[in-house]
Chain A
Amino acid sequence: MTIISAAGLRKDFTVRVKAGRLRRERRTVSAVDGVDLAVERGEMLGYIGPNGAGKSTTLKMLTGVLAPTAGEVRVCGLTPVAQRTRLALRIGVVFGQRSQLWWDLPLRESFGLLRHIYRVPSADHAARLRRCRALLELDAFLDTPVRQLSLGQRMRGELTAALLHGPEVLFLDEPTIGLDVVSKQAVRGFLAELGATGDVTLVLTTHDLADIERLCRRLVVVDHGRVVHDGTIEELHGRYGSRRVLVADLDAPLPAGFAVAGATVEAVEADGHRVQLSLDGGVGAGTVVAALAGAAPLRDLSVREPAIEDVVARLYRS
């Protein structure tokens, strides 16, 4: 069942730009330029693109705080701008740069307030809060005023706040921006758990591909307000030849002449104890890791995603 649909969605902004010493000219910027989108209930969608691509603008139109210049939008069967307050009860929204918590109050009290604002039965509220407390490890700072929280702690609070009324759709705009590595992992892990339940539809915007690997089956890439790719991450890499890099630390040197289908050995360092492989498009890291583990004992592994800017650049070249 389709829960979000957009057809020909467009947003033009009129901006005044300097033209000469005194003159100012009005110019129209198409921040979103004809986006078509259909998202099924329970889907996890990564909405990615470089800075200024129109991600936040799209999200604002889907959540009802910005009126489209043209096009049709339906979310949860409602028209977002016209039915904004009704929609607000059924969606959760986190804008990475903004806070919906009460600055001077402890996190716990913000959560209590949200229960009244969203008119949530207290048993439901308690159950959801219990789950978030466990998964996001909130207990250590539940009684700390929000203004004293670190960015990572605050973001975990924001995610909880957005989920306490049991939204059908969760919109996240750059939820990992500015976070340290540990907090990023915590947020990504939490979202993966959330997605696995299938109760909530997730739309996540980011300019960091690492946010959505393993999280979102489906990827929509936008640039200059237009959708330039809609499919899986493997398809994206497959189509445009962008390559992920696998770095493995080994307990024993890699046997000379090691080869595996779907990957190319790019470098062998530290007397064969560290190896870098680039993965062919469409190849999952799992098969390569298995082959590697068969050849030498593995100590550590990491996969580096290509930067979205590179992917988009390749996309244009092709």
Chain B
Amino acid sequence: MHGPTATADWISWPRVRAFGALAAAGYRRHSTYRQAAVAGATTNVVFGFIKVYVLLAVVAAGGAAVGYDRRQIVTFVWVAQGLLTVVLMWSWTELSERIRSGDVVTDLLRPLPPVVAYLAEDLGRAGQAVLTRFLPPVVVGALVFGLYVPGRWFTVPLFALSVLLATVCSFCCRYLVNATAYWLADARGPIVLWGVGSGVLAGLYFPLRFLPDPVAVALWVATPFPGLMQTPLDVLVERDGPALQCGLVALQAVWAALLLLACDRTQRRAERRLVLQGG
């Protein structure tokens, strides 16, 4: 009874075009909020300065640069500030609100699986954020501090792929957290928990390499969190040798696949519940 909604069944050329059209719509939807983009980019830049000086002070005091030089640390901070809104670690409640209001029923009346539709729009949103939210902090960081210039030819394309995978993983986590609204009367609890936890565990506030090795490795392998932020940043500043650099991105890809599968399963369970109990 759930065959037609399975995400994997859903690949063909017209559908790829539909995916593209939805992504383009996501891009345009977010282009309409110009003032919010300016305010957001400004905030990210201001916090970028604070974080850079704090981290540089910590490194200077303790001397524990954990394998990053000064330029890599600076790059880490400014690119993280730029990626923040591209990957979008928090503040996404669209799905849970639609579940609560019952509007989610109209999603089910479309001939495509909701996970696919929301993913397409989110990738379009991320594309828009690359222009308005990623570039400003990176440009400021480059002008004021000077950024790390990668030495390997494949680092920049690998970084782009890593950011794409990070966005997919983040989307899936946000989707799963929002989907708790199908079962809970109020999804705000899980959403807040995710907002607090993900930033710390993803390496947004400090590089996860500051953690003891076993903890860092456990985080990387057993959770998707480092793949949301730390991995693309480490890839860009070439923190590790080429093998590990590529290996971390492969790990991200595995997590992205697992999370998409989890979203698909969760959505199908939710639909079954919805069609049985009513919205």
Contacts and interface: CB of A to CB of B under 8 A. Distances in A.
A98 B99 CA distance: 12
Contact of B274 (A13, A65, A85, A116): A65
Interface residues of B, number: 33
Contact of A85 (B5, B17, B20, B29): B5
Interface stretch (B107-115, B144-152, B163-171): B107-115
B264 to A, nearest CB: 14
B106 A100 contact: yes
Contact of B21 (A13, A67, A95, A113): A113
B25 A113 contact: yes
Nearest to B31: A104
Interface stretch (A76-84, A211-219, A223-231, A279-287): A76-84
B105 A65 contact: yes
Given A57-B278, A112-B21, A119-B14, A83 B109 contact: no
Nearest to A31: B278
Given A98-B102, A119-B14, A65 B109 contact: yes
B109 A93 contact: yes
Given A83-B4, A117-B22, A119-B18, A100 B109 contact: yes
A65 B108 contact: yes
Interface size class of A (residues with CB under 8 A): 20 to 34
A66 interface: yes
A63 B112 CA distance: 15
A49 B113 CA distance: 33
A98 B1 contact: no
Contacts of B113: 85
A66 B274 CA distance: 7
Nearest to A69: B276
A172 B7 CA distance: 29
Contacts of A117: 18, 21-22, 110-112, 117
A259 interface: no
A89 interface: yes
Given A67-B276, A98-B103, A118 B29 contact: no
B91 interface: no
A98 B275 CA distance: 17
Contacts of A86: 4, 111
A74 interface: no
B21 A82 contact: no
Contacts of B276: 67
A241 to B, nearest CB: 37
Nearest to B121: A102
A89 B106 contact: no
Contacts of A88: 109-111
Nearest to A97: B102
24 contacts: A13-B277, A14-B277, A64-B275, A65-B105, A65-B109, A65-B279, A81-B1, A82-B1, A85-B113, A88-B110, A93-B106, A93-B109, A95-B106, A98-B102, A100-B106, A100-B110, A104-B30, A109-B25, A109-B28, A112-B21, A116-B20, A117-B21, A119-B18, A145-B32
Given A66-B278, A98-B102, 18 more contacts: A14-B277, A63-B109, A64-B275, A65-B105, A65-B108, A66-B279, A84-B5, A86-B111, A88-B109, A95-B106, A98-B105, A99-B103, A100-B106, A105-B28, A105-B32, A113-B21, A113-B22, A118-B111
Interface of B: 1, 4-5, 14-15, 17-18, 20-22, 25, 28-30, 32-33, 102-103, 105-106, 108-113, 117, 274-279
Interface of A: 11, 13-14, 57, 60, 63-67, 81-86, 88-89, 93, 95, 98-100, 102, 104-105, 109, 112-113, 116-119, 145
The 3 closest A-B pairs by CB, nearest first: A116-B21, A85-B4, A88-B111
